[in-house]
Amino acid sequence: ELKVEQNPLFLSMQEGKNYTIYCNYSTTSDRLYWYRQDPGKSLESLFVLLSNGAVKQEGRLMASLDTKARLSTLHITAAVHDLSATYFCAVRAGTYKYIFGTGTRLKVLA
Amino acid sequence: KAGVTQTPRYLIKTRGQQVTLSCSPISGHRSVSWYQQTPGQGLQFLFEYFSETQRNKGNFPGRFSGRQFSNSRSEMNVSTLELGDSALYLCASSLTGDPSRPLRNEQFFGPGTRLTVL
């Protein structure tokens, strides 16, 4: 069955720094999603990536997809405290079914 | 436009009991998926419904079941509760869930129901 791995699991970074979260998946899939979850809250959709080479950007976050490498990245530029949250990637694993990554808990320190 | 709503938000049950959770999708959305979120296992897919039909299910025991009504509202039921069923249960709705139309397939999540089994 499709497996989705994220790394790192935990990330503590200083404000103003850049970092990248990686999402690897084990079998072919045609789309990938990124979500954000704040403590005690639900998931908020960030990006939908539909094709090889797709790149989406929103504010300080940029997501990309390489379907050949089965890899997506979520790049954080000049982190700010408000970006502290847990980030999940999710991959379509067959009809009407999605597999989520383990999540990356990001803490941005002032 | 109102978002996905889930009731109740918090629930405490004891082992052996059963529980029913409810999810009302965004108006016009016809696909509802359910997920279980735990610290140890992360987010795991339970099942997906569209037009009152279950179209896919995850690897959960038969104690976990669901249904969808004609107005797209969905319920999930867990019978004979176990301690390990303690989790945040999330539902997500999308317009069609049609994989050939990914932008209409985007899932919007509800706030979740926090179930504690004692």
pLDDT for the residue numbered B6: 97
Mean pLDDT value across chain A: 92
Confidence check: pLDDT of B104 > 70: no
Cα dihedral A18→A24→A30→A31 (10° resolution):
-40
Smallest CA–CA distance, residue B112 to chain A, in Å, is: 6
Give the one of B44, B48, B110 whose C-beta lies nearest to A96's C-beta.
B48
Q: Is A26 within 8 Å of A70 (Cβ atoms)?
A: yes
B43 interaction partners in chain A (CB closer than 8 Å): 88, 90, 100, 103
Smallest CA–CA distance, residue B93 to chain A, in Å, is: 11
List, for residues B14-49, the tens digit of each pLDDT value: 999 999 999 999 999 999 999 999 988 889 999 999
B35 interaction partners in chain A (CB closer than 8 Å): 100
Per-residue confidence band for B105, with pLDDT thresholds at 50, 70 and 90? confident
* Overall average pLDDT of the A27-39 stretch: 89
Smallest CA–CA distance, residue A18 to chain B, in Å, is: 26
* Overall average pLDDT of the A78-104 stretch: 91
- Token pair in block for residue B43: 């987010």
Q: Is A63 within 8 Å of A56 (Cβ atoms)?
A: yes
Q: Is B109 within 8 Å of B7 (Cβ atoms)?
A: no
